[in-house]
């Protein structure tokens, strides 16, 4: 390489350095800001995760403490005093409280807790439907047969997670109303459904036989 070429390379490199230093002086604050944002974001995520873990642990401890009470009345009362942080955890606590209230013989309190969950639009659909199903199928329910049928039919729509359980309860309502043939036909459809669990299929088969029906071959 000639001296001229070497000189040109040195000048070119010097120009590059000068340009880089100029850009750093002009826009260096942007790089600093990006670093601060990244570090701050990571710190906030860690803080939020730590806070959520602490809240979840505290809620779990309070639920366990409430369920540790000796009498169901005391357990129901302790659960009612828990202020859960999210609609989902509020629904779970309320359903636990409803079960304890029912065990204590307070059907009205249990029904009120379940109804509060089933009508709360902020709660996930699965929790609303679970609460509604429990309320509609409670032995101490104050719903009329027709009201129970309407509620269960809404849960028996294709695609609903509790569809087959709702169909089973509708078959029992058919029996209660004296519509044995309708009950047997509904139970037969449950047996033939590909999503039916082994336990539900067995219950449906036993009820068909108990009602004097015959199981379809297949």
Give the DSSP letter string of 14-71: HHHHHHHHHHHHHHHHHHHHHHHHHHHHHHHHHHHHHHHHHHHHHHHHHHHHHHTSSS
User: Contact, 131 vs 118, CB < 8 A?
Assistant: yes
Query: If you write DSSP's letter for every residue of 147-180 in order, what string do you get?
Result: HHHHHHHHHSSTT-TTHHHHHHHHHHHHHHTT-H
Distance CA 192, CA 161 (A): 17
Q: Confidence class of residue 20 from pLDDT cuts 50, 70 and 90?
A: low
**The CA-based dihedral angle spanning residues 164, 166, 172, 177, taken in that order and rounded to the nearest 10 degrees:** -130
User: pTM for the complete prediction?
Assistant: 0.66
CB-based contact 120:128 (threshold 8 Å)? yes
Residue 144 CA from chain centroid, whole number: 29
pLDDT of 166 > 90? The answer is: yes
Tell me which DSSP letter residue 215 carries: P
Measured N-to-C along each axis, helices 3-67 and 72-80 cross at an angle, to the nearest 10 degrees, of 140
Per-residue pLDDT tens over the stretch 174-209: 999 999 999 999 999 999 999 999 999 999 999 999
Stretch among 2-11, 30-39, 41-50, 69-78 having the lowest mean pLDDT: 2-11
Q: Which of 103, 49, 55, 53 is nearest to 75 (CA)?
A: 103
């Amino acid at each position: 390489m000639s001296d001229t070429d070497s000189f040109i390379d040195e000048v070119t490199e010097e120009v590059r350095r000068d340009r880089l230093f100029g850009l750093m002086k002009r826009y260096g604050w942007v790089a600093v800001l990006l670093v601060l944002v990244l570090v701050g974001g990571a710190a906030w995520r860690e803080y939020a995760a730590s806070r959520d873990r602490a809240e979840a642990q505290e809620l779990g401890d309070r639920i366990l403490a409430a369920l540790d009470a000796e009498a169901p009345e005391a357990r129901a009362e302790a659960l009612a005093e828990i202020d859960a942080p999210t609609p989902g955890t509020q629904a779970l606590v309320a359903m636990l409280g409803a079960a304890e209230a029912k065990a204590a013989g307070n059907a009205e309190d249990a029904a009120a807790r379940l109804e509060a969950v089933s009508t709360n639009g902020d709660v996930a659909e699965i929790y609303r439907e679970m609460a509604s199903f429990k309320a509609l199928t409670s032995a101490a329910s104050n719903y009329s047969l027709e009201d129970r049928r309407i509620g269960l039919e809404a849960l028996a729509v294709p695609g609903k997670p509790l569809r087959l359980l709702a169909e089973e309860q509708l078959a029992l309502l058919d029996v209660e109303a004296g519509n044995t043939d309708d009950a047997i036909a509904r139970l037969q459809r449950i047996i033939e459904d590909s999503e039916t669990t082994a336990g539900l299929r067995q219950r449906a088969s036993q009820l068909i036989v108990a009602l004097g029906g015959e199981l379809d071959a297949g």
